[in-house]
A and B are shown apart, each in its own frame.
Chain A
């Protein structure tokens, strides 16, 4: 009897414990495998360096300008799938074949962005990070000291850093050091049902007033909402900037101002009047637009491939235009950067070669044309090749049009990721409750400051 009771208790304990460990579980297994892989890679690298160190040491002083990189393998964790992964693989294979140092970049698909984020975190804790990885700035607020500062590389060995679009340079310098190079960049655009707009005598919106007018007409004539936003927190920040206000920094919410209230009056009015609606169970508005269930929506430029304009009985012509401004223009840019975690000096140099290659004019053009992401260089935008491509691609045209006033949300402080989630869910709730602007403002400010307290 005693034994039985003990066994039962033990069983319950194990069950509970397996739950406690569940959080670390997936991370644990990955770290063991990667630990082994990295170890193998470093030993191999160390051996080659040791073998060659005799000659290199003598040569470094003689030819300081000449680079010496020993053949090595670089691991790159990414979250690209389908045709994006295919294009990434092509580019990487090209790099592997053509680089003069014998560097091999090994791509490791980690699933979705959120999988990538959690795996990076678990491996940061286990100190088994890959050499390079795709990452948003808010992934590594807690382990920015593990990200290699690229300032020296950029200063000494990067062709024309100023050619990279300014908002991307700002984003990658947010932490006070250069933490990455821009990679798969997208921007939020306004996608709309042009057939419906033409029928109702509407034109692509240019101001907030236009948006409101479009909302009124479509609601009256079609009984539909005219506008949706795929990302609520990004919508809020863009709207605040368009109205000349600031959003959030490490001290808290910055929009508890008269202008902030005006912005929320506009937003809440759009929703409370039925001109705009939440995405609900669809997750993205591309489905709603394809099914003729909304007039238009603001979503990522890469989401265009999910819009079907040829569903039987619901065919329509797609329109794309830049997001509208108010007092000023502001377009939200999204997409990750490539950051470096490599500790070994040789691997750092090798990884840098790859990062240079991926952000070169040639690569960024190919990448953009293959995937629908945006070029990261001004010269790439202006190249004949891309201009030609753009002529036949309305999404790329709209993205180009708003490139000068793109911005990237500040993420380099603790709590930035939590604020994204809190703002989205709080806005959802406020809209569902049809709150007034003042309540919305007060609630949002309180929730944001609560995260950062």
Chain B
């Protein structure tokens, strides 16, 4: 190690130490815990090192449901949120009146506590006195037990989560939109290109990297969903019997309510592997493209 790189590491040392203590150590510890049968968080004792926790985990129908729900959640929330935010960001970027006001309004959910938003949505979705059912009533629909009927639990959760995640996506998309060169649009105007064509041929391709980023971040975050469930169903995971349970909710429940630390750790390891797998898959297209380009050169 030469002098210069030593200096570099010295600068990095504080953050490295913090990451080692608060990220790397718990990570290793959690992986270790997941292999300990009957692990006790109180005194660190365990019965043996084996795969018992993983066996229990996959034998638990609640965990299987959590896996299914989380997959469903990721599959709907992320694409819906990206598409809707893309449309809204474009509308906000066109020269409308009160642009600043709208931008603030759309960004509000991002800076508001999920718990507070959950309280509001619980009222909106209340089957007896909720706003949503009131509006649907004009169209002769309902009343629907959004939060009381187990059939609708996941639907309600997804609607809530899409709305909640719009804000962040809109913000980054707006920033990306403003980075697109106006010359491109000017050229399109000269050719009197239809607006839809402009959107798909200029706007979307120019925004591709940021859309990909929104997808990756969205999927990682969606896999870790917990707050949304907790706040929408008022500290439960569904109206009757955990209909909207997600992986993280399951982990929390096992750890803090059922005192099954090993199983909770095994659940987090499974989730970790899932997220890693999805992130790797998502990066594949980019990597293939890069290889192709390299080959062409």
Give the B-binding residues of A (Cβ under 8 A): 1, 5, 8-9, 12-24, 28, 114, 117-118, 121, 124-125, 141-143, 146, 278, 280-281, 283, 293, 414-415, 417-418, 421, 425-426, 428-429, 432
Instruction: Determine which of B150, B242, B276 lies in contact with A13 in the assembled complex, contact meaning CB atoms within 8 Å.
Output: B276
Cβ of B133 to closest chain A Cβ, rounded Å: 12
- Which of A20, A417, A432 neighbours the largest number of chain B CB atoms within 10 Å of its CB? A20
Q: Determine the chain B residues whose CB is within 8 A of the CB of A426 once the complex forms.
A: 241
Check B26–A20 contact: CB distance below 8 A. Answer: yes
Q: Whole-angstrom distance between the alpha carbons of A141 and B260 in the complex?
A: 12
Check A432–B150 contact: CB distance below 8 A. Answer: yes
* Binary per-residue interface labels of chain B (267-280) against chain A in the complex, 1 for a CB within 8 Å, 0 otherwise: 01101100110011
Q: Which of B230-271 contact A (CB under 8 A)?
A: 234-235, 239-242, 248, 251-253, 255-260, 264, 268-269, 271
22 contacts between A and B (CB under 8 A): A1-B290, A5-B283, A9-B279, A14-B23, A15-B275, A17-B27, A17-B272, A19-B271, A20-B30, A21-B26, A23-B268, A24-B26, A117-B256, A121-B259, A125-B42, A142-B259, A280-B239, A281-B126, A425-B242, A428-B240, A429-B240, A432-B150
Instruction: Determine which of A22, A23, A24, A421 lies in contact with B257 in the assembled complex, contact meaning CB atoms within 8 Å.
Output: A421
Q: Whole-angstrom distance between the alpha carbons of A128 and B268 in the complex?
A: 26
Q: Whole-angstrom distance between the alpha carbons of A126 and B241 in the complex?
A: 33
Is chain A's binding surface mostly helix, strand, loop or mixed? helix
Please tell me if B41 contacts chain A, counting CB pairs below 8 Å: yes
Please tell me if B203 contacts chain A, counting CB pairs below 8 Å: no
- Which of B26, B150, B290 neighbours the largest number of chain A CB atoms within 10 Å of its CB? B26
Q: Determine the chain A residues whose CB is within 8 A of the CB of B224 once the complex forms.
A: 19
Q: Determine the chain A residues whose CB is within 8 A of the CB of B91 once the complex forms.
A: none
Check A121–B239 contact: CB distance below 8 A. Answer: no
Check A20–B240 contact: CB distance below 8 A. Answer: no
Please tell me if B79 contacts chain A, counting CB pairs below 8 Å: no
A-B residue pairs, 5 tightest by C-beta = A280-B148, A429-B241, A21-B26, A425-B241, A16-B272
Q: Determine the chain A residues whose CB is within 8 A of the CB of B26 once the complex forms.
A: 17, 20-21, 24
Check A20–B272 contact: CB distance below 8 A. Answer: yes
Contacts A8-B283, A143-B42; A19 near B241 (Cβ below 8 A)? no
Extra 16 A-B pairs, beta carbons < 8 Å, given A17-B26, A280-B147, A417-B257? A9-B280, A12-B279, A15-B275, A16-B27, A19-B248, A20-B30, A23-B268, A114-B256, A117-B256, A125-B41, A125-B42, A142-B41, A281-B147, A417-B259, A421-B253, A425-B242
Instruction: Determine which of A14, A17, A114 lies in contact with B235 in the assembled complex, contact meaning CB atoms within 8 Å.
Output: A114
Q: Determine the chain B residues whose CB is within 8 A of the CB of A142 once the complex forms.
A: 40-42, 259
Q: Whole-angstrom distance between the alpha carbons of A31 and B196 in the complex?
A: 57
Of chain B, the residue at the smallest CB distance from A18 is B23
* Binary per-residue interface labels of chain B (18-33) against chain A in the complex, 1 for a CB within 8 Å, 0 otherwise: 0100111011001000
Please tell me if B164 contacts chain A, counting CB pairs below 8 Å: no
Q: Whole-angstrom distance between the alpha carbons of A121 and B256 in the complex?
A: 8
Q: Whole-angstrom distance between the alpha carbons of A114 and B220 in the complex?
A: 28
Q: Whole-angstrom distance between the alpha carbons of A415 and B73 in the complex?
A: 31
Please tell me if B81 contacts chain A, counting CB pairs below 8 Å: no
Q: Whole-angstrom distance between the alpha carbons of A23 and B24 in the complex?
A: 15
Please tell me if B109 contacts chain A, counting CB pairs below 8 Å: no
Of chain A, the residue at the smallest CB distance from B264 is A23
Q: Which of B8-67 contact A (CB under 8 A)?
A: 19, 22-24, 26-27, 30, 40-42
Instruction: Determine which of A12, A23, A281, A414 lies in contact with B220 in the assembled complex, contact meaning CB atoms within 8 Å.
Output: A12
Of chain B, the residue at the smallest CB distance from A13 is B276
Cβ of B178 to closest chain A Cβ, rounded Å: 25
Check A124–B42 contact: CB distance below 8 A. Answer: yes
Please tell me if B145 contacts chain A, counting CB pairs below 8 Å: yes
Q: Determine the chain A residues whose CB is within 8 A of the CB of B220 once the complex forms.
A: 12, 15
Cβ of A162 to closest chain B Cβ, rounded Å: 34
Cβ of B291 to closest chain A Cβ, rounded Å: 10
Please tell me if B165 contacts chain A, counting CB pairs below 8 Å: no
Q: Determine the chain B residues whose CB is within 8 A of the CB of A143 once the complex forms.
A: 42
Check B27–A281 contact: CB distance below 8 A. Answer: no
Please tell me if B127 contacts chain A, counting CB pairs below 8 Å: yes
Cβ of A284 to closest chain B Cβ, rounded Å: 10
Contacts A12-B275, A114-B235, A432-B240; A17 near B23 (Cβ below 8 A)? yes
- Which of A13, A17, A18, A425 neighbours the largest number of chain B CB atoms within 10 Å of its CB? A17
Q: Determine the chain A residues whose CB is within 8 A of the CB of B125 once the complex forms.
A: 281
Cβ of A17 to closest chain B Cβ, rounded Å: 4
Check A293–B40 contact: CB distance below 8 A. Answer: no
Of chain B, the residue at the smallest CB distance from A1 is B290
Check A21–B22 contact: CB distance below 8 A. Answer: yes
Q: Determine the chain B residues whose CB is within 8 A of the CB of A425 once the complex forms.
A: 240-242
Check B128–A293 contact: CB distance below 8 A. Answer: yes
Q: Whole-angstrom distance between the alpha carbons of A80 and B251 in the complex?
A: 27
Check B127–A281 contact: CB distance below 8 A. Answer: yes
Check A121–B41 contact: CB distance below 8 A. Answer: yes
Q: Which of B141-160 contact A (CB under 8 A)?
A: 145, 147-148, 150
Cβ of B20 to closest chain A Cβ, rounded Å: 11
* Binary per-residue interface labels of chain B (110-143) against chain A in the complex, 1 for a CB within 8 Å, 0 otherwise: 0000000000001001111000000000000000
Cβ of A277 to closest chain B Cβ, rounded Å: 10
Cβ of A103 to closest chain B Cβ, rounded Å: 29
Of chain A, the residue at the smallest CB distance from B268 is A20
Of chain B, the residue at the smallest CB distance from A125 is B41
Q: Which of B192-230 contact A (CB under 8 A)?
A: 220, 224
Q: Determine the chain B residues whose CB is within 8 A of the CB of A293 once the complex forms.
A: 128
Check A418–B279 contact: CB distance below 8 A. Answer: no
Check B258–A417 contact: CB distance below 8 A. Answer: yes
Q: Whole-angstrom distance between the alpha carbons of A385 and B256 in the complex?
A: 42
Instruction: Determine which of A17, A20, A283, A415 lies in contact with B234 in the assembled complex, contact meaning CB atoms within 8 Å.
Output: A283
Cβ of B270 to closest chain A Cβ, rounded Å: 11
Instruction: Determine which of A16, A23, A415, A428 lies in contact with B241 in the assembled complex, contact meaning CB atoms within 8 Å.
Output: A428
Q: Whole-angstrom distance between the alpha carbons of A280 and B26 in the complex?
A: 38
Check A414–B259 contact: CB distance below 8 A. Answer: yes
Of chain A, the residue at the smallest CB distance from B242 is A425
Q: Determine the chain B residues whose CB is within 8 A of the CB of A24 once the complex forms.
A: 26
Cβ of A45 to closest chain B Cβ, rounded Å: 25
Q: Whole-angstrom distance between the alpha carbons of A117 and B258 in the complex?
A: 12
Check B148–A281 contact: CB distance below 8 A. Answer: yes
- Which of B27, B248, B252, B276 neighbours the largest number of chain A CB atoms within 10 Å of its CB? B27
